[in-house]
Amino acid sequence: MTMLLAVRDLTTTFETADGVARAVDGVSFDLAEGETLALVGESGSGKTVTALSILRLIPEPAGRIAPGSRIEFAGRDLLSLSPRELREVRGAEIAMIFQEPMTSLNPVLTVGTQIAETVLAHEAASKREARERALDMLRLVGIADAESRLKSYPHELSGGMRQRVMIAIALVCRPRILIADEPTTALDVTIQAQILDLLTDLKRRLGMAMILITHNLGIAAGIADRVAVMYGGRIVEVAPTVDLYREPAHPYTDGLLRAAPRLDGPDRPTPSIPGSVPPATDWPSGCRFHPRCQYAWERCQSEPPLLEAGPARTARCWLVDEPARRKP
């Protein structure tokens, strides 16, 4: 398996009124050709900032990717590309869709224009050809009456259709990686199911790799090959999906899984994790989860590295070293 994308020691900081926020702090992961990796975490875990950092979409100068970070895509370091080279990657090689289809589309341009301009930016196509491509894409993402929808403005579409248009924009140049940042969070559950089905289907047909960012463990379970769990700006556990859900290695993953509401669960509230995610300006020392962890002991005052926790899986927890402590 060849690695398409390799993120190494990615650190992204923001200047805030309360000091420097280390939103992403030393994150490393790989993405293989054709693979779907889910980045799972709660708000403030750094998952969206990670995604934005890959395409260098962090709003500067408040946000900044720290020196020493590396993002290698097909052998090139994205962080050292010139603006022009970066543009050639964005939208053509790596594309992105966002959480809010309402605000992520330009309200004063037609759907057709917004899809076609991606083609025009990357390929030597005529306007007419670009329009044809846009039309094909609208059909591909399952929009009925595509011909007339080309001339529609975003406000004339429903939330689900807008997200389909976003997907059409992202995929029109056949990127090798699609980054989907909470693509269904703003949608109703029946529409969410449609969009997830569409993404799975398109991924298979177009043979691309995908990074799916979600806070919903259910969505990750249904779509990902591997799952990386983030907490406090760090990846705390990476594992193949089935293994992770069957036997979470990190107490945070375990807690999240237990807290997730289930249709087939008991008819009383699920166990919760005490406390809340600390602000990114003030991470706890040592293991970032230890103030909320039921197993925490002295060793957790120093931060564990990502430890080998089984075949193809790692976890940032000393319990991997001392499994006996897991018993209450």
Partner 1 sequence: MVRYVMGRLAQGVVVVFVVVTLTFILIHAAPGDPLTSLANEPNVRPEVVEQMRRNLGLDRPLHVQYVRYLGRMLRGDLGVSLTQHRSVAAAIRDAIPNTILLALAALLIDFGIGVSAGAFQGAHPRSRRDRTLTAVTITLYSIPVFWLGMVLLFLFGEQLYWFPVAGVTDPVTYPFRSGLGKVADRLHHLVLPALTLGLAGAGYTARQQRAAMIEAIGQDFVRTARAKGLRERLVVGRHALRNALLPTIALAGLAFPALLSGTVLVETVFSWPGLGRLAADAIGRRDYPIVTGAALVAAVLVVLGNLAADVATRIADPRTKPAS
Partner 2 sequence: MSDPTLLRVENLVKHFSVDRGMFRRPATLRAVDGVSIAVGRGETVGLVGESGSGKSTLGRCIVRLIEPDSGRIIFDGIDVLGLRGRALRAFRRRIQIVFQDPYGSLNPRMRIGPAVREPIEIHRLAPRAAADERVAQLLQEVGLDPSYARRYPHELSGGQRQRVGIARALAAEPELLVLDEPVSALDVSVQAQVLHLLRSLQERRGLTYLFIAHDLAVVRQMAARVVVMYLGKIVEEAPARAIYTDPRHPYTSSLLSAVPRPDPTAPGRRIVLTGDPPSPVTRPSGCVFHPRCPHPLKDDRCRTEVPALRKVGGSQTACHYAAEMDGIGV
Neighbour count for residue 132 (Cβ, 10 Å): 14
* CA atoms 129, 130, 134, 140: torsion sign: positive
Residue closer to partner 1 (CB basis): 95 or 210: 95
245, 221 contact by CB (below 8 A) = yes
Partner whose binding site includes residue 91, from partner 1, partner 2, none (CB under 5 to 8 Å by kind): partner 1
Strand 234-240 relative to strand 36-40, pairing: unpaired
Measured in degrees and rounded to the nearest 5, phi and psi for residue 312 equal 60, 25
Q: How many residues bind partner 2 (CB under 8 A)?
A: 48
Residue closer to partner 2 (CB basis): 78 or 296: 296
E strand or H helix that includes residue 220: helix 217-223
- Each as own residue / partner, the long-range contacts of residues 146-150 (CB below 8 Å, 24 or more positions apart, any chain) are 149/111, 150/110, 150/111, 150/112
Instruction: Compose the 196-235 pattern: x for residues touching partner 2 by CB under 8 A, - for all others.
Output: xx-----------------xxxxxxxx-------------
Instruction: Compose the 163-182 pattern: x for residues touching partner 1 by CB under 8 A, - for all others.
Output: ---x--xx------------
* CA atoms 245, 265, 40, 1: torsion sign: positive
Nearest distance from residue 45's CB to partner 1, in Å? 20
- Given 9, 18, 19, 155, the residue binding partner 1 (CB under 8 A): 155
- Give residues in contact with partner 1 (CB under 8 A): 55, 57, 59, 83, 87-92, 95-96, 98, 100, 103-110, 117-118, 121-122, 152-153, 155-156, 166, 169-170
- Give residues in contact with partner 2 (CB under 8 A): 42-43, 158-161, 188-194, 196-197, 215-222, 241-242, 245-246, 255-257, 259-274, 276-277
